Structures are given as structure tokens and as C-alpha cells.
Structure 1
Amino acid sequence: MNHRLKRHIVLIGMMGAGKTAIGSEIARRYGVRFTDIDAEIEAAAAMTISEIFDRDGEEFFRRRETQVLSRILAGPPAIISTGGGAWMRPQNRKLIADSGLSVWLNCDLETLWHRVRQRSTRPLLKTADPKGTLARLIEERYPVYGLADLIFHSQGGDSVEASATRLIAEIRAADPDLLEPK
């Protein structure tokens, strides 16, 4: 049986939490659109996030992020992956709350570090102590991420498929009317 989303499901969390991988899998299973906000920004700018940060700065990027998020949320319900800092802006939290279910993919530092340490595409980790920077970002962001409608505790050893299955069950338990038969 096909299902249709009644509202957006918006995945929030740190870089490396699995927002894109898990979100893509859930969208595939339900035949709905998946949108990665960072990928949308990169496509519109014809630049990588790192290049945007380097050229225009983080504040410029955050403004663009809000614009893209607003545009996507105005469209038909979908699974949406946001950048790690998107949820930190009050206006983004309000946009998401008005049209979707926010889901925090909560991961511990070691799992995140294992996933992001080899990637040079994370502009906020281009520091002398990237793991320390990641730990500091966790300290700053986790209390705000905790405002999400649903907190999903990621298990580092789970496959994407297993995580998606668990998350779908938790979404259904939290909001049984979110998915409706087609």
C-alpha cells in the first residue's frame, strides 16, 4: 500500500548523523520526494558549501539556507534533510514547526567523528582541532536540537535500512496521522 505524507518530515542533527542517508531511504520506501537542503544550496550557487563559506562567510550561507528551506517547505510534503546549523536559527525552527515534524537524529561524538573525520567537505571542521570543534558544536547545539518534536537515538552500528525502519516506527508512534493511505 502506498502512503502519502500529510506534512513534511524534517531531519535535523549534526554533520554525520545520517540525515541524508536515512532520509533518502525513508523517501524511497514511501515514494515521496527527498530534499537535502545543502545540496539544493550547492546546486543554486554552483559552488560547494565550503566554497560558499570561504567566499561569502557563514552568515551569508545561513541566510541562503533559510531561503531554500522556506521554499522547500512551501512545496508538497517531503522528507527533508537540513544542514547541522539550520535548526539553530529560531526562524528556521518556526518554519519547520509550521509545516512539518522535526526529527533530531541524535548521535554520540565518537560515532559522528568516525563518520566525518575523513571528509574535507565540512567547513566548520577546518580547524587545528577538528574533533574538539565537533565536541564544542555538540555542546552548543544539542540543547537546541532537543527542542525537536521527536528525538531519534542513532545507533552507530545500525545499517541505513535498520535505522530507517526504527525511525519510521518511532515517527508512526509519535504522529500516527502523519502518513495517510493514497
Structure 2
Amino acid sequence: MDNIVLIGFMGCGKSVVGRKLASRLGLKHVDTDTEIERLTGKTVAQIFAKDGSIRFRSEETLLLKRLAGKKNMVISTGGGMVLNRENVELLKADGILIHLYASPEVIYNRVKGRRHRPLLNRGDLKQRIIELLKERAGAYDVAELAVDTGKYAVDEAVNQIIKYLKERKYIG
């Protein structure tokens, strides 16, 4: 079975939905940020602070190349993963892309207490979220399906995804 790849802005539930979806389907779950941290021995925040965003983005691409050809996984990507065209092609080669999204207000409420997101650690948080969403407008349109995680709870979002996969005959 092809991989199910969850893309979307930070705080839209890719990791939590990914874990639940993988569990429901009996698939392995890979969170790309967690995997990069494991491989580099540094947190995402440390990579951004010490090595910069370009280094982090190159780690994302290297990880996808390591995963190339592997199947039967649910992959939760970092929010900026699809900003690189090569990453999109690597993800599409073995996977079905699903966009998880939420309104800026929902994202704000989910991330406001967490300071481990390097791209949000400067300026007014709500304004920064809006700016980044504008910068990334259209980037997530590469997905086959979009699910509003501000509207659906985790289990409902998982059900929406499974329903879509069954309708498209990706799963039985």
C-alpha cells in the first residue's frame, strides 16, 4: 500500500492524527521532525538555531531520500516540507498526500503555550502565524484531500481520511 502523507501548517494535527491513523490502519507511523531529531541528535529548534533553516530543509530532503521506495507508512511531515518541490516529488512517488488545515485562531490556540517552534519564536505569535500562512498559500494544494482539523476532532479527522481512502480504493 502507498504511504499516507499528512502535510499542512504547524499545529494542524499532523502528528496526532498520523499516530491515530497509523494505529487504526495497522501501519508504521513516521513523524519527520522526530526522525530528523533522532538522526541528528539535535532538536528541530537546535538545528534552526545552530545550523539555520537551510540545513534543516536539507535534513528533510535527506530523510525523504532514505524513505524512498518504502511503503505501508503514515508519514507526518513538518509544516514546511512541501515548500521544496523535490520533497513534494519524493512524497508523491510513494504516497497519497492529505492536507490537514485549521484557521489561524485554532492554530494560535494550539501552539501558544509551546516555544519549541523556531519559526514562531519572533514577534507577535498570532501575526506570525497569519504571515506564514500567507507565504505558504497554495503550497499545500498538492494534496488529494484536505481535512479541517479545526472542524473535526482527531477521531473524526481520521474517519474522514479513512472514508476517502476507501472511496478511492487505496484501502479495502
Query: Normalized against structure 2, the TM-score is what?
Result: 0.94
| 1:70 aligns to 2:65 (yes or no) | yes
Partner SS for 1:152: strand
Alpha carbons 2:70, 2:94 under 8 Å: kept: no
5+ residue gaps, structure 1, are 1-5
Picking from 153, 157, 165, the partner of 1:159 is 153
Picking from 122, 130, 136, the partner of 2:131 is 136
Other-structure match for 2:31: 36
Picking from 144, 158, 168, the partner of 2:162 is 168
Other-structure match for 1:98: 93
- Displacement of 1:94 in angstroms is 0.7
5+ residue gaps, structure 2, are none
Alpha carbons 1:37, 1:80 under 8 Å: kept: yes
- The alignment covers a number of residue pairs equal to 172
Alpha carbons 1:17, 1:154 under 8 Å: kept: yes
Q: Which runs of 4+ in 1 moved over 3 A?
A: none
Alpha carbons 1:66, 1:92 under 8 Å: kept: yes
CA RMSD of aligned residues (A): 1.3
* CA displacement 1:122-171 (0-9 Å, x = unmatched): 00001022221111111121311112122222234x43222211221123
Alpha carbons 1:12, 1:82 under 8 Å: kept: yes
| 1:119 aligns to 2:114 (yes or no) | yes
Query: Normalized against structure 1, the TM-score is what?
Result: 0.89
Partner SS for 1:179: coil
Identity %: 33
Q: Distance in 2 between matches of 1:124 and 1:74?
A: 31
* CA displacement 1:44-76 (0-9 Å, x = unmatched): 111110000000000000001111122123323
Q: Map residues 7-86 of structure 1 onto 2, 5 A cutoff.
A: 7-86=2-81
Other-structure match for 1:3: none
Partner SS for 1:50: helix
Q: Distance in 1 between matches of 2:128 and 2:70?
A: 35
